[in-house]
Structure 1
Amino acid sequence: MRIDRPRPGDGPLLWRLARDSRTLDLNSAYSYLLWCRDFAGTSAVARDSAGRVVGFVSGYLRPDTPGTLLVWQIAVDESVRGLGVAGALLDGLSAHVAAEHGLNHLETTISPTNHASERLFASYAERHGATLTREVLFRTDEFPESGHDTEVLHRIGPLHF
């Protein structure tokens, strides 16, 4: 497994991974193409030994707090789930962002029913000796469509690389 920077041609593969996860909000295929072009430096893909994309994490540095990486989405192909790919993606991306831009906090939002993501980010905080705090960021009634879960902000830090 190799953690790598995404390329624009990886966009359709990321879209498929997000779709097949059945837990992520699926954005347009076009947005994944743009993400791989414009935010490749704050995102990562996992490639298997054949070079096939089997996971991704997309993120960006928050404009108002540049030392904070917001993880937008993370998905892993069903064929490699449970093998530590998601954790490796987070660790690899964090190290890359820290080296290039500086990194002191990582944030993500998780719906209260997504226990796998909660465990993933709690484990990340523990591995990095950082504090994890949670607070509601967006309530269900703030979304324009009905049925969207509340999004809880998970903030991890301070991080030291």
Structure 2
Amino acid sequence: MTTALSIDSPRVEDGAAIWRIARDSEVLDLNSSYSYLLWCRDFAATSVVARGVDGEPIAFITGYIRPERPETLVVWQVAVDEAHRGRGLAGTLLEALATRGAAHGVRMIETTVTPDNTASDRLFASFAARRGASLEREVLFDGGLFPDGGHQPEVLYRIGPITPASG
């Protein structure tokens, strides 16, 4: 079992550690370090971080509320530090974020997953099953839309309705 001291909202001073976890994942599209600082400032209420016993972030989920759909939480990135992988920490963070969101009117979760990302597919499919929610998948962005070439399509996962977790 992962020894996370706590799960809470990220703080600005967590931005650098979150950036490093994203970079070291080697699967996420890495954003600028500046964007992680902004994320920790502007979207802390819709994001979560797990802290190790030393208080440093060991995993995170960043998310935001869709402006046109305030009942929808978009999960932007999920990452777990390599030393803490394989212990269900991403699922624990997703549950915590969904429970927090449901208490504030979130009824749907959206995210995108590339076809080769089996870990994320399992994470979101098992989350939907645990919550008894439907899971719909459709291509949101075809790979050809990305300017850097060679990008896989981003498949939209729409999960809902989200209700508070039961006992």
Does the 8 A contact of 1:130 with 1:158 survive in 2? yes
Would you say the 8 A contact 1:97–1:103 is kept in 2?
yes
Confirm or deny: 8 A CA contact 2:9 2:44 kept in the other structure: yes
Share of identical aligned residues, percent? 59
| Partner SS state of residue 83, structure 1 | coil
Return the alpha-carbon distance in structure 1 between the equivalents of residues 39 and 130 of structure 2.
28
What TM-score do the two structures reach when normalised by structure 2?
0.94
The one-letter code matched in structure 1 to 2:66 is R
Q: Which of 146, 149, 152 lines up with 1:149 in the alignment? A: 152
Deviations 1:104-139 (A, max 9, x none): 110100000000000000011011110111000000
Corresponding residue for residue 105 of structure 1: 108
Aligned partners of 2:90 and 2:123 also within 8 Å: yes
TM-score, with structure 1 as normaliser = 0.97
Task: List 4+ stretches of structure 1 deviating above 2 A.
Answer: none
> What RMSD in Å do the two structures reach over aligned CA positions?
0.7
Q: Which runs of 5+ in 1 are unaligned?
A: none
Query: What is the rounded CA distance, in whole Å, between the counterparts of 2:51 and 2:129 in structure 1?
Result: 25
Partners of 1:142 and 1:150 in 2: CA distance: 9
Q: Distance in 2 between matches of 1:51 and 1:84?
A: 19
Shift of 1:95: 1.2
**Cα deviation, residue 147, structure 1:** 1.2
What is the distance in 2 between the residues matched to 1:49 and 1:96? 23
CA shift for structure 1 position 155: 0.5
